[in-house]
Structure 1
Amino acid sequence: MGDMAPADVDLVREAQSGDAGSLGLLLARHQADMRAVALSILGYGPEAEDAVQEAALVVLRRIGDVRDPRAVAPWLRAIVRNICRMHLRTRRAVPVDDLESLLPPGGEPDPGEILDRYATRDWVWRAMEELSPNLRLVTMLRYFTQVTAYEHIAELCGVPVGTVRSRLNQARAKMSEALLATASLAYDDVAALTEARRREAEEILGAARRGSFAEALAAHWSPEVEVCWSRGKRTRGFDYLVRAMERDLDDGVRHDLGGVVAGREVIIWETELTNPPDDPFHCPPAAVWVQFLEAGRVRRFRLFHPRRDAAVPAVSRRPVAAR
């Protein structure tokens, strides 16, 4: 018992310093105990396994909150216990970021900030890239953008809400497995990729304000890009998008870039739209640009306007990796 405690202490400290392998080993070492807690509360079945997988993602985001590394084992069991209790109350999948009892004072921090702080972003993104495109998209939206409501994700992806829940459940399970499987591998620098995509977004939106939006899109988008608009209208090419942007700008609408999520095959921009004082309802208050890449160029594009009444309140956020 005395030999085990120092090893756990070392793993926690290394994990808090950003060592993905140590965190992966810590989770693997305590997985059996975490599963035993879930089984004792929920019984045998997929719900107990879901709880363990959700707990692994919570640990990833909360490892920096451990003040006494010697107490990491009961801390892990407490996370599983809280998740299981929420399952008992709701009897449906509980989003990781709804676990209010596990939040530090001051509310929910930005997921990307946590990943930056503990230098695990590249490991997480490597695991996320192991997901199928459909699972990856709902995960990116749910955990790294302000499109967090299930009904909004469903509307953006063009699928029923039940499908979104199912995909998120599958994604959590596969992410848990992938995190353990990839803990010791090398990762691409997601921060560098995200920053490059942010600069690209700023250049394109800046070009729109200067009257050269079409030229900027032509440098990065396929001329035959398939566009799906917020209400289901579909067009091909970006001429209609250029005209719509020009109309907005002529009418005094300002488009400001917010969050950027950058993967190998998907880029997501979040923009805030500010209407002119004399026409406050000209445009929705926000837009989400989901861009699907093929051979390095945007081949498919979906524009979505989240309803602000049900969305997460707008806050000032800096660009972060995996966002």
Structure 2
Amino acid sequence: MPAIADGSGHTPRTRTATPDTESEEVALTLAARGGDVAALGALLERHRPGMRAVALSLLGPGPDTEDVLQDAALVALRRIGDVRDPAATGAWLRMVVRNSARTLLRERARTAPVAEVPLPPSASTPESVLEEHVMRDWVWEAVEALSPTLRLPLVLRYFTAGLTPYQRIAEVCAIPVGTVRSRLHQARTALAAALRTAADGAYEGTRRRTEESWTEAHETLAAAERGEFARVVADRWAPGLSVFSGGARLGGTPLLLAGMDGDLSAGVRQRPAHVAAGRSLVVWEMDLLSPPDDPGHCPPGVAWIMTLAGGRVDRLSLHHAPRPTTESKVPHL
């Protein structure tokens, strides 16, 4: 068989897979794609030396290498279904490590923001991606077990579409980029332990929660356009709601209602683009559509980052996508 590149720029010695080892690899990959966490764990352990070699070749020894390996494990948890050739899982895992390491190097150099988790491009819709996440239920259970301080950066990094760069996470959480790195490291370490516990049981409901959250996002915006946003907020959100932006509290329910009314009066519309929904943390990423006669009226998007207590939103943090220019206009919801 041909030599397999390890992603480090060098080609290792040709590996000869016996029929037994190759068939075992295929069996483990198929089981992992079917949701068997033990099979995925066995694949990660089997390929850990090769994955570590790639990380070391790009980053050298140190905590960054460990972070990249943990990062690759989380990617594998969510995207094992992307492996089309079950006999090539090792090459796929090394590619994930290589991409993650290169992303880390770019972010470290602060040359340009990276807007996605280091994965091959995909044309999948959020719904179809969710359907492919066969381990999604127990992954979310493990995420829920984290402290709120660690949970938010992790969800933004791995479960959103446009809030994954460290700088964006820092802005949302109102903390330095270095603190983002530290909290992500702690969260990945804690998640690895939590996943071992979560894997012992079967968890249902994540898909249902996400589908319901997509529906709620559409219904909320439709109600707002009908002039019924105040009713929706009163019915579904906590009376003591706090609205934040950039870590600063701006106000409560009256501010939220005034902001929505102001946007609608100006001709601004919102369209749900991505949803991440757990029991205690929900993120709605919205496209902002400026009025036709004023195409630069608003930023291109806004994220509604909502924490829940007793099933009702008690805290809303708004984070706007950066404008193409530095021009600033009226504040938006």
TM-score (norm. length: structure 2): 0.76
1:38-117 matches, within 5 Å, as: 45-73=62-90, 75-77=92-94, 79-80=96-97, 97=116, 99=118, 103=120, 107-108=121-122, 112=126, 113-117=128-132
- Identity percentage of aligned residues: 46
Cα separation, 1, equivalents of 2:62 and 2:48? 16
Counterpart position of 1:319: none
What do the CA deviations read for 1:9-35 (whole angstroms, capped 9, x no partner)? 211122234434422332244446644
Decide whether aligned partners of structure 1 residues 235 and 263 sit closer, same or farther in structure 2, where only a CA change above 3 A counts: same
SS in 2 for 1:269: strand
Decide whether aligned partners of structure 1 residues 241 and 98 sit closer, same or farther in structure 2, where only a CA change above 3 A counts: closer
Counterpart position of 2:5: none
Q: Does residue 187 in structure 1 map to residue 170 in structure 2?
A: no
CA apart distance, 1:200: 1.9
Counterpart position of 2:137: 122
Decide whether aligned partners of structure 1 residues 181 and 308 sit closer, same or farther in structure 2, where only a CA change above 3 A counts: farther
Task: Identify the range of structure 1 (223-232 vs 136-145) with the bigger mean alpha-carbon deviation.
Answer: 223-232
1:1-323 matches, within 5 Å, as: 3-31=20-48, 34-35=51-52, 45-73=62-90, 75-77=92-94, 79-80=96-97, 97=116, 99=118, 103=120, 107-108=121-122, 112=126, 113-143=128-158, 144-229=160-245, 232=248, 234-236=250-252, 238-309=253-324
Q: Which has the higher contact order (CA 8 A, sep 6+)?
A: 1
How many residues were matched structurally? 304
TM-score (norm. length: structure 1): 0.78
Q: In structure 2, give the amino acid aligned to 1:264.
A: R
Indicate conservation of the 8 Å contact 2:268/2:288, yes or no.
yes
What do the CA deviations read for 1:60-119 (whole angstroms, capped 9, x no partner)? 3553444443444455456546656776787689989564xx62xxx3456954452252
Q: In structure 2, give the amino acid aligned to 1:46.
A: P
Task: Identify the range of structure 1 (82-91 vs 256-265) with the bigger mean alpha-carbon deviation.
Answer: 82-91
Indicate conservation of the 8 Å contact 2:114/2:165, yes or no.
no
Cα separation, 2, equivalents of 1:163 and 1:215? 39
Unaligned 5+ segments in structure 2 are 1-17, 326-333
Counterpart position of 1:320: none
RMSD: 3.3
